[in-house]
Amino acid sequence: MRQVVLDTETTGLAWERGHRIIEIGCIELIKRRPTGREFQRYLNPDRLIDAGAMEVTGISNESLLDKPRFHEIVDEFLDFIRGAELIIHNAAFDVGFLDNELSLVGRELGRISDYAEVVDSLRMAREQYPGQRNSLDALCKRLGVDNAHRTQHGALLDAELLVEVYLALTSGQGDLGLSLESPSQNPGNTASAVTVRPRRILRANDAESALHNERLRKIEEKQGACVWLADPTPALD
């Protein structure tokens, strides 16, 4: 399965009020493992960033003046997410902004859901931890994800943290550690992907053996010679 973990930074909190995306960050996963492929762009929003957003992101208006507009990178972005499962924290926020940006491009591009399936990791966290704080920072703390280096928000940085949070949230789903890949096929592994445990042998006690043999004798009385009664303790190996 191909997945893309995605985050955005914006000029403010509501696209309905004319706010725009100023950064997109994406990380590709294949079979729940990062592939090293990333998509990250800063964007010129053609408007000022709210003071609150500037404080949170550390992105200044001046730093975006020479950056591309969304319509200039939209095809590359859509190619990156096309056909993937998008993992987004509080997906309604990011998808709302992305759909708005698509509508402003000036050609019929549809909606994000036309290109990829969207999975909201915030909804997943609320189902697992009802009544608790489920922000990305709160989940990092709860799930043991190191975010000490996160002094400000950034789309790619938040996507990197979300990768770890999502994998921890879903560690029991679809990843049972049963990869058939051997250490020789994957030199980066220091141990086999499949853990082989010693076979456990349970042996009957004297009372259980007596009951078993009595049952076999009754079978022999009704049906004739019973091979198990002739050799009641056959070799196991």
Q: What percent of the chain is predicted at pLDDT more than 90? A: 67
Which pLDDT does position 172 carry in this prediction?
65
**CATH code assigned at 58:** 3.30.420.10
Domain count, the chain: 1
Distances (CA, A) of 97 to 18, 112, 173: 10, 10, 30
> Considering the domain boundaries, does residue 177 fall inside one?
no
> What is the per-residue pLDDT across 1-25, written as a single tens digit (0 to 9) for each?
899 999 999 999 999 999 999 999 9
Burial class (CB in 10 A: 0-12, 13-18, 19+), 170: middle
Distances (CA, A) of 82 to 112, 115, 198: 9, 5, 45
pTM beyond 0.85, yes or no: no
Task: State the catalytic residue, choosing from 71, 89, 149, 153.
Answer: 153
Phi, psi of 155 (to 5 degrees): -60, -45
Distances (CA, A) of 24 to 38, 46, 111, 196, 209: 10, 16, 16, 43, 69
- Per the prediction, the chain carries an average pLDDT of 83
Secondary structure percentages of the chain, helix, strand, coil, to 5: 40, 15, 45
Max CA separation in the chain (angstroms): 97
DSSP states along 55-123: HHH---TGGGTTSPPHHHHHHHHHHHHTTSEEEETTHHHHHHHHHHHHHHSSS----GGGT-EEEEHHH
To the nearest 10 degrees (0 to 180), the angle between helices 155-169 and 121-128 is: 40
Phi, psi of 6 (to 5 degrees): -130, 145
> Considering the domain boundaries, does residue 83 fall inside one?
yes
Contact 189, 195 (CB under 8 A): no
> Considering the domain boundaries, does residue 178 fall inside one?
no
> What is the per-residue pLDDT across 171-183, written as a single tens digit (0 to 9) for each?
865 443 333 333 3
> What is the per-residue pLDDT across 48-67, written as a single tens digit (0 to 9) for each?
999 999 999 999 999 999 99
> Considering the domain boundaries, does residue 68 fall inside one?
yes
pLDDT (mean) for 109-136: 96
Contact 179, 32 (CB under 8 A): no
Q: Which residue has the higher pLDDT, 97 or 173?
A: 97
> Considering the domain boundaries, does residue 180 fall inside one?
no
> Considering the domain boundaries, does residue 231 fall inside one?
no
- Domain around 148: 2-169
Is 153 catalytic? The answer is yes
> Considering the domain boundaries, does residue 221 fall inside one?
no
> Considering the domain boundaries, does residue 179 fall inside one?
no
